[in-house]
Structure 1
Amino acid sequence: MLPISPDWMTQTATLWMLISVRLLGCFMTMPLFAFRSAPMRLRVLLALVIAFALVPLVQSDLPPIDSMPPGYALVFVELAVGLTSGWMVRIGLTAVDMLADVLSQQSGLSFAATLQQDANLASGLVGEFLGLLAIALAFTLNIHLVMLELLAQSFKVLPLGTWPTAWNWGSVLGLVQDAFTLGLVLALPGIVIYFLFNMTQAILARISPQMNLFSVGFAIMIPVAFVVVVLLLPSFADLVQTALESPFELIRAGFGPRL
């Protein structure tokens, strides 16, 4: 019978918990894992299973537990690292959300959401479609596997309880700026098209006041939104890949070796 010391069991259980906390933080915020239909128990179970497989990889280079910060500080830092890594991917996909919201609002498909600000209310037909399409394309690009690989490698180069030095305020603000810029560029064609259409409606209203432009406008604005979507679909995979380039560059910089 092999003797197992209590110190070894305590260190292994603590290590397993810390690894699972970092993974769970990513699963809670990354859009590819944080589905509403995916229960929290499933995400916790997935984090525990992956963490159990990573314990031998991390345990070989692990310093003594006594030399680490207190347990609560370790858990807080690991959870913050996981949450931030998944949140960066979410920020990258806000460019697609911005395009979807512009098309939904301009076409009138999110008219109910405009009048009633409800978090449980759908953002519109176009918004829901483009959001689900972006997540589906991210799965086809194996973004979830790339993220799992980066998380697995992060335990070798980023010690437990350590915040990545590359994730400072300047880099995070730059990531938000890049996502907003890309979203604005994607939404500009729709903004210009609907601006010209609304200007044409205003001219017709002055020429023919008897015409019911409200009903006529909705009948034209909705097909225009679908025309814009059809024009975007051939290059939508490249758009999703471009939107995720900046977040993963920052994630790789944070999970890289400390200089």
Structure 2
Amino acid sequence: MLELTAAQIGTWVATFILPLFRVTAVLMTMPVFGTRMLPARIRLYAALAITVVIVPGLPPMPEFEPLSLRGVLLCAEQIIVGALFGFSLQMLFQAFVIAGQIVAIQMGMAMASMIDPANGVNVAVVGQFLTMLVSVLFLLMNGHLVVIEVLTESFTTLPIGNALVVEHFWDIAGRLGWVLGAGVVLILPVITALLVVNIAFGVMTRAAPQLNIFSIGFPLTLVLGLGVFWVGLADILSHYQQLASEALQWLRELARVR
């Protein structure tokens, strides 16, 4: 008769449960897969499938007692590490959202907003367009496969029970300025062009005060802004490749993967 000790059962459970918490946290928080457009049940099924595939190649897991304090802390650690990986990828998408919001304000389209089906909040239509564009580029360039690769290797570089969660928090905080800077760089030509237009309207108003600048300036600024934005889309791929490379490289640094 086969007899199993509590330690053996705990080790077997930890072999699957602990990686499942980290994988699920990544899928629940990363872009595209972590949005409301993908049902939570589908994300859970995907997490189960990924965990079943990667578990045979993972290093040995520590002893795990689900009802003990150490077991709860191990589960919490995996959730936090996975969530940090997902949030680090969110910064890539938020850079494009910020770029869209700035462009919309400069063009006078800040009131033209819609409900973002991914997050359930009101966003400018320009920002929503850039979000959909970067989501398609992320999938076409196999960004999700890179994330799964880094996630699998993170179990070796950041073993369960030895992950430095506090250090990752400081890394996330240090990257917040990168999001704003990347968003401004994306739409710098549009901002510059609209700034020149606004200066020209200011000179016209000074030279001819009787001119109704609002009836002329608003539609012209809108049309010129859309035109410059459309022309700038021709170079959006190179900007995305650079920002995506930096974001994925930073993800590797977080996971200490080379």
| TM-score range normalised by the length of the shorter chain | 0.7 to 0.9
CA distance in 2, matches of 1:93, 1:4: 52
Alpha-carbon distance, 1:112 to partner: 5.4
1:217 aligns with: 217
Task: Map Cα deviations across residues 194-223 of structure 1 (whole Å, 9 max, x no partner).
Answer: 222122222333344444433322322222
Instruction: Please name the residue that 2:134 is paired with.
Output: 134
Distance 1:108 1:120, change over 3 A: farther
Deviations 1:167-219 (A, max 9, x none): 44654344323333222222322222222212222233334444443332232
Residue number in structure 1 paired with 2:21 = 21
Q: Quick one: which amino acid aligns to residue 95 of structure 1?
A: A
Displacement of 1:77 after TM fit? 0.8
The structure with higher relative contact order (CA 8 Å, sep 6+) is 1
Tell me the equivalent position of 1:64: 63
Question: In structure 2, the residue corresponding to 1:101 is in which secondary structure?
Answer: helix
Using the size of structure 1 for normalisation, the TM-score is: 0.83
**Superposed CA offset, 1:36-89 (max 9, x none):** 21121211221122112222222x5234337x9711111111011011011111
Partner of 2:39: 39
Instruction: Provide the residue aligned with 2:91 in structure 1.
Output: 91
Percent same amino acid among aligned pairs?
Answer: 26
Moved over 6 A (4+): none
SS in 1 for 2:240: helix
Q: Deviations over 1:97-152 (max 9, x none)?
A: 22211111111222256xxxxx9553222111111101111111111000011111
Contact 2:13 2:64 in 1 (8 A): no
TM normalised by structure 2 equals: 0.83
Residue 6 of structure 1, CA deviation: 5.8
Following superposition, the deviation at residue 238 of structure 1 comes to: 1.8
Residue 161 of structure 1 aligns with which residue?
Answer: 161
The verdict on how the C-alpha distance between 1:235 and 1:216 changes in structure 2, with shifts beyond 3 A counting, is same
Cα 1:170–1:14 shift into 2, 3 Å: closer
Name 1:116's counterpart in structure 2.
Answer: none
Q: Distance in 1 between matches of 2:170 and 2:153?
A: 24
Partner residue in 2 for 1:5 = 4
**Quick one: distance in 2 between partners of 1:121 and 1:104?**
16
Q: Which deviates more, 11-20 or 21-30?
A: 11-20
1:104 and 1:4 map into 2 onto residues whose CA distance is 67
Relative distance call for 1:4 and 1:150 in structure 2 (3 A) is: farther
**1:179 is aligned to 2:179:** yes
Q: For 1:57 and 1:224, how far apart are their aligned partners in 2? A: 55
- Corresponding position of 2:233: 233
Measured at CA, do residues 54 and 199 of structure 1 come closer, stay the same or move farther in structure 2, by a change above 3 Å?
same
Matched, 1:188 2:174: no
Contact 2:108 2:218 in 1 (8 A): yes
Contact 2:96 2:183 in 1 (8 A): yes
Q: Which residue of 1 aligns with 2:116?
A: none
Cα separation, 1, equivalents of 2:99 and 2:55: 42
**Contact 2:25–2:79 (8 Å) recurs in 1:** yes
**Following the alignment from structure 2 to structure 1, what is the Cα–Cα distance between the partners of residues 246 and 17?**
30
Give the counterpart letter for 1:233 in structure 2: L
Q: 1:170 to 1:22 in 2, by over 3 A?
A: closer
Say whether the 8 Å CA contact 1:75–1:161 is kept in structure 2: no
Contact kept? 1:92, 1:179, Cα under 8 Å:
yes
